[in-house]
Amino acid sequence: MHEHRISTAGTPSAEDAHRLRYLHLVAAARAAALCPTDEQQVADVVRVTVDDEVDTTTFRAIVTEVSRDVLR
């Protein structure tokens, strides 16, 4: 498990904000390349991308946003 987990609770540090944005962009790019057909496939891609670096709420938010973009 990672020694530092990113959480959106409170005000994240600048480093955490940049890392979170990076993870989000990587997950979005991977999902777009895969051309998923449902939200579960998007969740699987995001799970592999973010590993244990984000909390559950942040994970769900990334899945929701990426799903909106790639499942149109």
Tell if the pTM clears 0.95, that is, is over it: no
pLDDT digits (tens, 9 = 90+) for 3-23: 567 766 677 789 999 999 999
Q: Where are the domains of the chain?
A: 25-70
Task: Give SS3 for 57.
Answer: helix
Residue for token pair 């997950």 = 27
Residue for token pair 């409170």 = 10
pLDDT digits (tens, 9 = 90+) for 15-72: 999 999 999 999 999 999 999 999 999 999 999 999 989 999 999 999 999 999 999 8
